Amino acid sequence: MQPHHRSYWPIVAALTALSAPLVIMYVYQLIDTVTTTAPGSIIPNGITLQHWQFLSQPITRDGPTIWALAGNTLIFACSTAVVVTGVSLTAAYALSRLAMPGRGLFLGGLIVLHAFPTLTLIVAVFLILQYMGLYDTLTGVILVKVAFELPFGIWIMKGFYDSVPWEIEMAGVTDGASRFTVWRLLVLPQVQPGLAALLIFSFLSGWSEFILPLVLAPANAPQVLATYLAAIIADDRVADFSLFKAVSIFYALPVLAIYVIFQKKLMNIYGGGSKG
């Protein structure tokens, strides 16, 4: 045991050295939001809460409050999560279980789309949204985000459905239940871990989405936290890095909280199935 233990030390030292810059940057990010620092110095010279004032008043006089933006982001992330999960649940069941025409083609398409750099489609998406009158609306961005997330969601859920034994459904059908009842009462509970993981995953993905709202809903005022954050440093007049860091922390907190709370459920998505 003893020599085995000692052999870890070089690895631990190497990893510490490698991650030190990251840790230091995070620590400074936190410190900078509550202190004042003289230009050119790295040692803070005073404590202040002024960088957190955005919590109580808008940064620019006629701009949105941070809470309105957080609300928008929440709506965006929740809608994405709910629609992606809902569609994936039903689509993946069909792909896993029903002998439908074009199934192979559809499955192949899913993989291609999953690996596809979807951003290259942005011009086409822009034109479609424009045509549908959904350009520069939150609804439009949500729909595009959902479409981009679906291949992943369907593929993951199909994996979970595939691991449910056929016999459970056959037993349900001979027990007199309709296919829909079988799905709802017998199959859905078996894929529940996948459902939870996908829900959280697509929520987080929606919460952190930046490019789509930036390109498809530029507006005069930013609509979600990610684009707002970018706007803070993009605007020369109010560029304020301490403020940027404070908003970043505000933006990252829900993500951290969710990871801490749902860690186990999220790991399910890589486990790929339920155990009876």
Partner 1 sequence: MKLVLERFTKRFGATTVIDGLDLTVADGEMIALLGPSGCGKSTTLFAIAGLHRVDGGRILFGARDVADVSAQARNVGIVFQNYALYPHMSVAQNIGFPLRVRGESTTQIDRKVRSIAGLVRIDELLDRRPAQLSGGQQQRVALARALVREPDVLLLDEPLANLDAKLRMEMRSEIRRVQLETGITAILVTHDQVEAMSMCDRIALMKTGQIVQISSPAEMYDNPTDRYVASFLGNPSIAFLAADAGEELRLAGGQSLGPAGRLAGQGPLELGVRPEHYGPGKGPQLQGKVVMMETHGREDLFEVDLDGGGRLRAILPAGSGVRTGASVDWGVAVERLFAFSPKGARL
Chain residues binding partner 1 by CB under 8 A are 165, 167-168, 170-178, 181, 185-186, 189-190, 276
Least gap, CB of 155 to partner 1 (angstroms): 24
Q: What letter does residue 65 receive in the DSSP assignment? A: P
If the CB atoms of residues 173 and 238 are measured against partner 1, the closer one turns out to be 173
Least gap, CB of 170 to partner 1 (angstroms): 5
- Measured in whole angstroms, how far is the alpha carbon of residue 190 from the centre of its chain? 24
If the CB atoms of residues 194 and 206 are measured against partner 1, the closer one turns out to be 194
Least gap, CB of 187 to partner 1 (angstroms): 10
Q: Which two tokens stand for residue 116?
A: 């596809």
If the CB atoms of residues 190 and 242 are measured against partner 1, the closer one turns out to be 190
Vertex 140, ends 86 and 200: CA angle to 5°?
35
Least gap, CB of 109 to partner 1 (angstroms): 25
Q: If we measure between CA atoms, which residue out of 187, 194, 141, 143 comes closest to residue 168?
A: 187
CA distance 241 to 229: 11
If the CB atoms of residues 175 and 235 are measured against partner 1, the closer one turns out to be 175
Least gap, CB of 197 to partner 1 (angstroms): 17
Q: If we measure between CA atoms, which residue out of 192, 209, 196, 198 comes closest to residue 74?
A: 209
The residues pairing with 46 across neighbouring beta strands, listed in sequence order, are: 36
**Concatenated DSSP letters for 118-129?**
GGGGHHHHHHHH
Q: What letter does residue 208 receive in the DSSP assignment? A: T
Least gap, CB of 192 to partner 1 (angstroms): 8
Asked if 246 and 225 touch (Cβ cutoff 8 Å), the reply is no
Q: What letter does residue 166 receive in the DSSP assignment? A: H
Q: What letter does residue 187 receive in the DSSP assignment? A: I
If the CB atoms of residues 178 and 263 are measured against partner 1, the closer one turns out to be 178
Asked if 150 and 88 touch (Cβ cutoff 8 Å), the reply is yes
Least gap, CB of 183 to partner 1 (angstroms): 13
If the CB atoms of residues 168 and 230 are measured against partner 1, the closer one turns out to be 168
For the purposes of burial, counting CB atoms within 10 Å of the CB of 252, is it exposed (0-12), middle (13-18) or buried (19 or more)?
middle
Q: What letter does residue 210 receive in the DSSP assignment? A: -
If the CB atoms of residues 109 and 165 are measured against partner 1, the closer one turns out to be 165
If the CB atoms of residues 132 and 171 are measured against partner 1, the closer one turns out to be 171
CA distance 273 to 190: 9
Least gap, CB of 163 to partner 1 (angstroms): 12
